[in-house]
Structure 1
Amino acid sequence: MKDVLEELAAAHRELGRGDLPAGEAYTVVLRRRYDAEIEDVWDAVTSAERLSRWFLPVSGDLRLGGRYQLQGNAGGEILQCEPPRLLRVSWLFGPDARDGTSEVRVRLTPGPAGDTEFELVHAAVVDEVFFGTYGPGATGVGWDLGLFSLAVHLAGGELGDPSGFESSPEAREASRRSAAAWGEAHLAAGGDPAQVAAAVEATTKFYVPDQG
């Protein structure tokens, strides 16, 4: 099993701003390298069978212009698909979610030694009160854990039941460190230190609830 804390440290995180059809958005950016060929990484993030092994079961019309649904999670439209380098999808929750409020983009670049540079950008139009409470960690912590699962999968391993892993001591500590790391990214983007500290605490409590 790969070490979750080492994998967490392998990622670079940024907070920025961007534009979506629904308005100005916050963006969380994760960049890291995987020891796998670009075609293998592309297949892992686009194949329904493989997505179910490291992320979530997915259904729908998995081609450009088609709609997808992740089990118990987001759904949307496949907006761009340029194998094996670029995938962009809308990322929406619930039957009343408005188009254009949230998008995820994955960009892959082949590395010099048969490896792959991986970039994920999640842009979302977010209520300012919600962002002020939780900051970028509300989205970023979940992606950190997801990209760890992808690392395990690409190395030939499996995490098993995701709910069991998420409640494990390793995942709880990773969530704490991820929330802190997103706090650092928030500070680097000009966040108010007091607000950032409060957001890190709130995000940590959400992802790592007391086990009473």
Structure 2
Amino acid sequence: MDVATAAGLVVREIRNSTRDGVSTKVQIARRTYATDQADLWDTLTNAERIPRWFLPISGDLQVGGKYQLEGNAGGTVERCEAPEVFAITWEFGGMTSWVQVRVQPDGAGATLELEHEAVVPQEMWDQFGPGATGVGWDGGLYGLGLYLETNAPMDPAAAALWGTTPEGKEFMRLCSESWAEAAIASGDEPEAARASAARVLAFYTTAPEDESGN
């Protein structure tokens, strides 16, 4: 499957909400996969399968348990109702946000709906918009699709550099632009939303410096 097709399989939406009286942004991504509900649920929640398409994970994946994704977020499992919905806190960089994932049968496949709710400072939203986190989730949904299609685990080293390849850059461009359009649909000013998408694209497609600083 080419990256344009893969990027287009995700439906993206942004809602304005509140949590404990504080304004939040809710980003929603939906994609249907060619597998059944039980298999999709297991792929998302089985600690042995999660690293095959996302990141190594440790901890207790039961309600009330703590988890940690290697080199990324950790948090607490707040809800788990197999095979339909789980909710976790997403704690990274000193900030806490909230993720809820729903899995539903959809014809011959199953649909994943991911909601990520966060308190986002206005200056950060103005600079990067929804793509700052949205493009990252798009990468995860893409990796999930590849794994379900091929049953082959990803190569972590290759995955880390994929965003700097022509194919990866095109995927990131399409995703960042789609998140900008979702922001516009939610009420953001079009020119500013598209400018933030360009900044997000530069962030995700710049090669990391090596140890010599080059």
Q: Same fold (TM over 0.5)?
A: yes
- Paired AA for residue 71 in structure 1: E
Aligned equivalent of 1:153: 147
SS in 1 for 2:188: coil
Aligned match of 2:103: 108
- 1:204 aligned partner: 201
Aligned 1:72-151 pairs, distance under 5 A = 72-94=71-93, 96-97=94-95, 101-113=96-108, 115-151=109-145
Q: CA deviation at 1:5?
A: 2.1
> In the aligned structure 1, how far is the partner of 2:170 from the partner of 2:204?
10
- Is contact 1:176–1:208 with CA below 8 Å preserved after alignment? no
Partner of 2:211: none
Where 1:17 maps in the other structure, the secondary structure is strand
CA–CA distance in structure 2, aligned partners of residues 56 and 181 of structure 1? 25
TM-score by length of 2: 0.90
Deviation at 1:208, TM superposition (A): 1.8
| Aligned length in residues | 206
Q: Does 1:170 align with 2:167?
A: yes
Matches within 5 A, 1:178-197: 178-197=175-194
Instruction: Map Cα deviations across residues 143-188 of structure 1 (whole Å, 9 max, x no partner).
Output: 1111000001111233312213333221111011111111111111
Partner SS state of residue 132, structure 2: helix
Distance 2:179 2:106 in 1: 26
CA distance in 1, matches of 2:110, 2:38: 9
| TM-score normalised by L of structure 1 | 0.91
Q: Secondary structure at the match of 2:115?
A: strand
Runs of 4+ residues deviating >3 angstroms: none
